[in-house]
Every structure is written in structure tokens, then in C-alpha cells.
């Protein structure tokens, strides 16, 4: 194990390398129109300092992990206290109850702006939960998830524009359309594994976006569809404030329903077959599980969830265009799942709240958002591949002490 001075020395070397490596991009800025060059020498100091700090913690963490002395929440003092409180009878219920109460009250005690942002976070929670089924439970990587989201949003927008279909009818229809799209994409795709699947889903996602951008008649191309109506309550339309609150409550309800569905699926026969498939597909197949069928259900259910989220998104924003459904949107949803914890519902919720709310409230940090997310993805994969809240596999214990009788 290295001591601090050694780590600091190594980090200093890394800082120098970092300065050299980033020199042309960070220091020299070229204005090709006026043919002027700006030298930003202060960048060298900045880059050096940032690399030094990151490198110090990086190496220290690596050393700790190698020697096995990492921080474990469940064994720490705070963790033990948390578990002792939570295990008291009735505590879980009352915590959950007050949480639900707080969530329902949010739109009535905060500004519409806050409500609207939290609604976006809720939409991302739905998307995260949907993608989590594929990535977390099934172990398949779908990089075109935003396309399914887009199919849902466009289903509502197009049906409304042409036939005046309302939100409540569009909600299931969006889900169904997206599920159908998932089935069509799934047919050729699901024979593939791992990396290939990732790239092909990315390809399908981009193809969908290109078609949407170019079919002017159906989707109004790149300019998008505006004036999508907000949801009504049995024919009663709300004003601006009312509808913001109303959409928020719909989003909360949908999140709860989807959490329930996911939770039931996870522990069902189908859900367990997904996990088995993730762990070892050959063993899984030899146990009599039809891989194609189980992958197909996985894909369709996750697409349907994205479709529902899409309808909600279209209703909330009242305007959609293809730019909302690019690869980077898919990757953003993937970040939520990976950061929060693959396969864990609580993790996904936490991930969406962090990634959507934090940049909204830290404006200065907004510009660096994607840079930091990219870095976070690497850090998570290197140090904590399971995410912040790691999914714990269910362990079946046999009740009762073994007896010697």
C-alpha cells in the first residue's frame, strides 16, 4: 500500500502528463474567421490542478480497493444505525407514507417551475425503470431507447393532430405503438449479443430519427409538432398552474404503477428467467427457458413503458421535435440506470433525481454537465460497476435452526 506522499508524487506526474496532453485543445484557441489566435496560458494551471486532485483520489481509491478496505455502508456506524431504525416495526410504513404525502403535496407548496422540473425528473424515472428492465435485469444494452420514447410521443402528437385523440386515449395507444415498434425492431435484433446488440439498437434509434426528420407529411419533419394539448380531467381543461400540477400528479401515479409492475415482474417467472439469461444464457437455455421468447417479452415491455413516458412527455412540453430523441438522449437514460444502480428500482429513482435535478439547480455546473456525466460513467464502471445502490440478489434462507435430533 502506497502512502500519501507516494500517491501525491504519482499524481503530480499525472498532472504534468495531463497538461501536456491537453495543451493544444485547452491553451490554444483559434478563430478561423478573423485568423486570430488566443493563448490561454492559465488553462495549464487549471488542468494541472484538476488532474492532480482527481488523480490523487483515483489512485487512493484504487489502492483501497486492491487491499479490500473499501467503505461499506451496511457495516459503517451510520449504516448500522439506519438498519436498526428501519427494522423497528411500522417504521418502513410510516416513512413510505410520509414520503408519498410529501410527493403529492409538492406541487401545492412549491412554484410551478419546480413542479415542472420534478415532472421531467419523473418522466426520466419512468424511462429509467423501462430501460432498467433491459439493461439491469436482462443484461442487454439498448442504445436506441430514446426512439421508443419518441414513438410514444409522436403517436400522441400525430393522432391528436389528425384525429383529435385526447391524452387519456393516447396514453395506452402510445404504449401499444411503442411495444409494436419494439417487436418489429426486436425480431432481427434479438439474436445478437452484447456489443452487437448495442450498436444495432443504436442504428435503429438513429434510423428512426432520420425518418422522422425527413417525413414532412406525417411528422412535420425537423420543425416538429407544436400545440399538443395538455391532459384534461373528464373533459375539464385546466389553466397553466392547474395543468402543471395535474401533469405532475399523473406522472407520480404512473411512476407508482410502473414501479409496481416492475416489482411484480421481477419476482415472477418471466422476471427470473431474465435474470437467469443475464447471468448465463447457455445454462438458461438448457434449463428449458425459451431465450427468444423471454428476450422478446423483455423488449416489448420495456418499449411499452418508454411509449407511455413519451405520451406524457409530449403532453407536458406541448411541443416535440426529433432533436428530443437522439442517441444522446438514449445515453442519458443509460447514465441514469448505470449511475443509480443496474437492476435496482431505488437506484434508478436516485439516478434520475441526481442527473435531472442537480444540473437544473446548479446553473454554473450546467455547461459542464455532459463532461462530468461522461467522466462519472467511467468512474462508476471502474470503481462501482453496480451503481450507487447496488442490486442485491434475493437469497432464499431456510427458516429454523438445524437440529440434531
Partner 1 sequence: MDVGYFLKLLLSGLTRGSIYALIALGYTMVYGIIKLINFAHGELYMLGAFTGLIVASLMSYSGINPVLSLIVATIIAIIYSSAYGVAIEKIAYKPLRKSQRLSALISAIGVSMFLQNFVLLFQTSDFLSFPNLIPTFKFLKPVENYLSSAQVLIYICTALFLIGFTILVKFTKTGKAMRATSQDSKMAQLLGISINKVISFTFLIGSAAAAIGGVLISSQVGQINFYIGFIVGIKAFVAAVLGGIGSLAGAVLGSFVLGLVESFGTGYISSNYEDLFAFVVLIVILTFKPAGLLGKSEKQKV
Among 81, 292, 385, 392, binds partner 1 (CB under 8 A): 385
H-helix or E-strand spanning residue 276: helix 269-279
239 binds partner 1 (CB under 8 A): no
Beta bridge partner(s), residue 30: 37
Among 106, 176, 192, 354, binds partner 1 (CB under 8 A): 192
Q: Which is nearer to partner 1, 135 or 304 (CB)?
A: 135
For the segment 199-218, give every residue that binds partner 1 (CB under 8 A): 199-200, 202-204, 206-207, 210-211, 213-214
Separation between Cα atoms, residue 7 and residue 372, nearest integer Å: 23
- State the minimum distance, in angstroms, from the CB of residue 195 to partner 1: 5
Among 95, 188, 263, 346, binds partner 1 (CB under 8 A): 188
48 binds partner 1 (CB under 8 A): no
367 binds partner 1 (CB under 8 A): yes
Q: Which is nearer to partner 1, 129 or 334 (CB)?
A: 334
- State the minimum distance, in angstroms, from the CB of residue 282 to partner 1: 6
Q: Which is nearer to partner 1, 146 or 334 (CB)?
A: 334
Q: Which of 372, 341, 336, 329 is nearest to 352 (CA)?
A: 336
Cell digits of residue 160: 391528436
Among 139, 166, 242, 359, binds partner 1 (CB under 8 A): 139
1 binds partner 1 (CB under 8 A): no
Q: Which is nearer to partner 1, 175 or 341 (CB)?
A: 341
Cell digits of residue 229: 394539448
Beta bridge partner(s), residue 225: 320
382 binds partner 1 (CB under 8 A): yes
CB 184 within 8 A of CB 299: no
Q: How many residues bind partner 1 (CB under 8 A)?
A: 56
Segment near partner 1 (CB under 8 A); pick from 1-9, 71-79, 82-90, 192-200: 192-200
78 binds partner 1 (CB under 8 A): no
Cell digits of residue 130: 423501462
146 binds partner 1 (CB under 8 A): no
For the segment 250-289, give every residue that binds partner 1 (CB under 8 A): 282
- State the minimum distance, in angstroms, from the CB of residue 76 to partner 1: 25
Segment near partner 1 (CB under 8 A); pick from 72-80, 92-100, 229-237, 327-335: 327-335
249 binds partner 1 (CB under 8 A): no
Q: Which is nearer to partner 1, 57 or 328 (CB)?
A: 328
69 binds partner 1 (CB under 8 A): no
With helix as H, strand as E and coil as C, how does the chain read?
Answer: CCCHHHHHHHHHHHHHHHHHHHHHHHHEEEECCCCEEEECCHHHHHHHHHHHHHHHHHHHHHHHHHHCCCCCHHHCHHHHHHHHHHCCCCHHHHHHHHHHHHHHHHHHHCCHHHHHHHHHHHHHHHHHHHHHHHHHHCCCCCCCHHHHHHHHHHHHHHHHHHHCCCHHHHHHHHHHHHHHHHHHHHHHHCCCCHHHHHHHHHHHHHHHHHHHHHCHHHHCHHHCECCCCCCCECCECCCHHHHHHHHHHHHHHHHHHHHHHHHHHHCCHHHHHHHHHHHCHHHHHHCCCCHHHHHHHHHHHHHHHHHHHHHHHHHHHCCECHHHHCHHHHHHHHHHHHHHCCCCHHHHHHHHHHHHHHHHHCHHHHCCHHHHHHHHHHHHHHHCCCCCCCCCCCCCCCCCCCCCC
375 binds partner 1 (CB under 8 A): yes
61 binds partner 1 (CB under 8 A): no
Separation between Cα atoms, residue 139 and residue 212, nearest integer Å: 29
Among 5, 101, 378, 398, binds partner 1 (CB under 8 A): 378
Among 13, 30, 226, 257, binds partner 1 (CB under 8 A): 30
Binding stretches for partner 1 (CB under 8 A): 17, 21-22, 24-26, 28-30, 32-33, 35, 37, 43, 62, 135, 139, 141, 188-189, 191-192, 194-196, 198-200, 202-204, 206-207, 210-211, 213-214, 282, 327-328, 331, 334, 338, 367-368, 370-371, 373-378, 381-382, 385
Amino acid at each position: 500500500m502506497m502512502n500519501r506522499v507516494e500517491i501525491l508524487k504519482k499524481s503530480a506526474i499525472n498532472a504534468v502528463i495531463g497538461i501536456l496532453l491537453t495543451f493544444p485543445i485547452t491553451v490554444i484557441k483559434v478563430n478561423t474567421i478573423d485568423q486570430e489566435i488566443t493563448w490561454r496560458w492559465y488553462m495549464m494551471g487549471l488542468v494541472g490542478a484538476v488532474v492532480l486532485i482527481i488523480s490523487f483520489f483515483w489512485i487512493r481509491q484504487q489502492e483501497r480497493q486492491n487491499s479490500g478496505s473499501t467503505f461499506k455502508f451496511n457495516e459503517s456506524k451510520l449504516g448500522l444505525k439506519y438498519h436498526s431504525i428501519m427494522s423497528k416495526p411500522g417504521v418502513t410504513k410510516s416513512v413510505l407514507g410520509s414520503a408519498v404525502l410529501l410527493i403529492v403535496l409538492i406541487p401545492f407548496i412549491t412554484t410551478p417551475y419546480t413542479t415542472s422540473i420534478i415532472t421531467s425528473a419523473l418522466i426520466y424515472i419512468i424511462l429509467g425503470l423501462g430501460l432498467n428492465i433491459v439493461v439491469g435485469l436482462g443484461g442487454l444494452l439498448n442504445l436506441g431507447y430514446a426512439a421508443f420514447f419518441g414513438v410514444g410521443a409522436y403517436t400522441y402528437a400525430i393522432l391528436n393532430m389528425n384525429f383529435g385523440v385526447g391524452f387519456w386515449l393516447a396514453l395506452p395507444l402510445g404504449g401499444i405503438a411503442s411495444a409494436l415498434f419494439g417487436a418489429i425492431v426486436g425480431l432481427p435484433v434479438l439474436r445478437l449479443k452484447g456489443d452487437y446488440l448495442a450498436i444495432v439498437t443504436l442504428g435503429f434509434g438513429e434510423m428512426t430519427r432520420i425518418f422522422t426528420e425527413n417525413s414532412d407529411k406525417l411528422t412535420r419533419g425537423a420543425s416538429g409538432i407544436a400545440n399538443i394539448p395538455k391532459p384534461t380531467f373528464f373533459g375539464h381543461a385546466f389553466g397553466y398552474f392547474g395543468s402543471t400540477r395535474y401533469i405532475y400528479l399523473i406522472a407520480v401515479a404512473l411512476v407508482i404503477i410502473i414501479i409496481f409492475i416492475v416489482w411484480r415482474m421481477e419476482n415472477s417467472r418471466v422476471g427470473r428467467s431474465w435474470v437467469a439469461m443475464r447471468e448465463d444464457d447457455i445454462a438458461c437455455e438448457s434449463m428449458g427457458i425459451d431465450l427468444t421468447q423471454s428476450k422478446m417479452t423483455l423488449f416489448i415491455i420495456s418499449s411499452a413503458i418508454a411509449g407511455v413516458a413519451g405520451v406524457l412527455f409530449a403532453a407536458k412540453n406541448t411541443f416535440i421535435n426529433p432533436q428530443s430523441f437522439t442517441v444522446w438522449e438514449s445515453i442519458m437514460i443509460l447514465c441514469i440506470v448505470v449511475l443509480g444502480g443496474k437492476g435496482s428500482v431505488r437506484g434508478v429513482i436516485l439516478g434520475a433525481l441526481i442527473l435531472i435535478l442537480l444540473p437544473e439547480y446548479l446553473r454554473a455546473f450546467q455547461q459542464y454537465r455532459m463532461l462530468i456525466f461522461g467522466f462519472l460513467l467511467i468512474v462508476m464502471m471502474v470503481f462501482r460497476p453496480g451503481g450507487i445502490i447496488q442490486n442485491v440478489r434475493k437469497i432464499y434462507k431456510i427458516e429454523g435452526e438445524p437440529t440434531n435430533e
